[in-house]
Structure 1
Amino acid sequence: MSLFENADSILLLKKLLQNPENEDSSSDSEDENQSKRKNLGPSNFGPRPQSNALTKPDSSLKPEPKKDQSIEEWLEAQEKEDNDILETRKRPEYKITYKQSVGTEDVFLQMGNKTSASSSCEDMIIEIEMPEETVAVHQMDISVTENEIDLATPMYRLKLPLTHPINPDKSSAKYFTERKTLCLTCRMNREYDYVNF
């Protein structure tokens, strides 16, 4: 934006640069002009902000539904997000490890393509420790999707985004009551598995 697009900016610049000796006025008006010049600065130039913009509430804070979503889907997503924000249950400790199935040719002869890196692992094992949980396994609610695990119990809530996509149909869960640990074994579904195996 150029300084010369706004006529008010040019007049303010003129007032700022005007020599006080050229004016025919008394000493009182000179004092006023000097005080006005002292108050002028770089922020006085350019377009003025709208006064209504400061009093109106900011509508950009409210998320609006996407064009491809219906109102019902948007409301459902907002309700889910609000429930996540207002969650008061504890988040359990968890540990993620990787497992690969190796055969004799991999261990002794090293004829396979597998390495000791996690890129050669087929399964992701997630151990969730819930030491204060008192309910039975059938009262725990677990949802496993391709990119997320959602566990809900009366004491704990874990919403865990996964580092690798998994196949929910080939996943299994086991609960150890003596340790109060839920162990999930999830088959990873990666793009380049044909290279690693």
Structure 2
Amino acid sequence: MEGLSSVNNLYALSALLNPPAEEDEVDCAFVPSTAKLGPGHIGPTKSAGSKMATSAYIRNDSKDIWCEEELAEGVQFDDITDPRPQPEYDIVLKQRVRTEDIFLGMSRKDPSSMCCESMVVKIKLPGTKFIEVVLDVKEKFLDLRTPKYKLGLHLPHPVHSQEGMAKFLSEKEELEVTLPMNRPLDCINLA
């Protein structure tokens, strides 16, 4: 009766753990356990000299924890050390309606915000002249700077930034910025 420490068992264990160096004649019936594939064998083989990206995208600099495309629009304008206060503002959604829209209901327009064509941002700027206002409008961000006030406003809907219009009402000391909205289903909702 042979036990666990028999010479034949040790040779068999040695053959399983260390296959012979010459593998020209391999018996298909007997495959040693080291020849089994593991998770590292999946995919293209990596050579020692080449560095391949292990993630789904290739990073330009491995020290960066995010790229600029991942940041929200207008983040570069946020300055927490700027002591200027934020002015009062109001956002009003606006739509064009005609009498047949209101009384006869001939179009598909309703009072919801999905049927609005433009957005009006009213910004109160007391003690400010029109010449002092610097305004920059992006698709989803409005940046307003004056010597007294600073406003970085994330807009609730995307807008056509190049088609907007701004007017300064001197008697009210208020800036009105009218921006046409840019939504993917405008061709359906505004037909």
Q: TM-score, structure 2 length as denominator?
A: 0.59
Matched positions, count: 123
**Which residue identity lines up with residue 171 of structure 2 in the other structure?**
E
Deviation at 1:123, TM superposition (A): 0.7
Deviation at 1:145, TM superposition (A): 0.5
What is residue 17 of structure 1 aligned with on the other side?
none
Within 5 Å, give how 1:21-32 maps onto structure 2: none
Residues 92/68 of structure 1: CA separation in 2 closer, same or farther (3 Å cut): closer
Q: Does 1:130 align with 2:125?
A: yes
Within 5 Å, give how 1:21-170 maps onto structure 2: 65=64, 80=76, 84-133=79-128, 136-170=129-163
**Match for residue 189 of structure 2 among 182, 188, 196:** 196
Could you say which structure has the higher helix fraction? 1
Deviation at 1:66, TM superposition (A): 5.2
Unpaired runs of 5+ residues, structure 1, are 1-63, 70-76
**Which residue identity lines up with residue 155 of structure 1 in the other structure?**
K
Residues 68/127 of structure 1: CA separation in 2 closer, same or farther (3 Å cut): closer
CA distance, structure 2, for counterparts of residue 160 and residue 174 of structure 1 = 18
**Which residue identity lines up with residue 90 of structure 1 in the other structure?**
P
**Which residue identity lines up with residue 180 of structure 2 in the other structure?**
R
SS of match in other structure, 1:85: coil
CA distance, structure 1, for counterparts of residue 138 and residue 131 of structure 2 = 19
What is residue 11 of structure 1 aligned with on the other side?
none
CA distance, structure 1, for counterparts of residue 91 and residue 123 of structure 2 = 9
**Which residue identity lines up with residue 185 of structure 2 in the other structure?**
Y
Deviation at 1:67, TM superposition (A): 7.2
Deviation at 1:101, TM superposition (A): 0.5
**Which residue identity lines up with residue 132 of structure 2 in the other structure?**
Q
SS of match in other structure, 1:159: strand
CA distance, structure 2, for counterparts of residue 131 and residue 175 of structure 1 = 12
CA distance, structure 2, for counterparts of residue 153 and residue 106 of structure 1 = 41
Q: Residue deviations 1:111-146, cap 9 Å, x none?
A: 10100111110010110001232xx31221110000
CA distance, structure 1, for counterparts of residue 85 and residue 101 of structure 2 = 42
SS of match in other structure, 1:186: strand
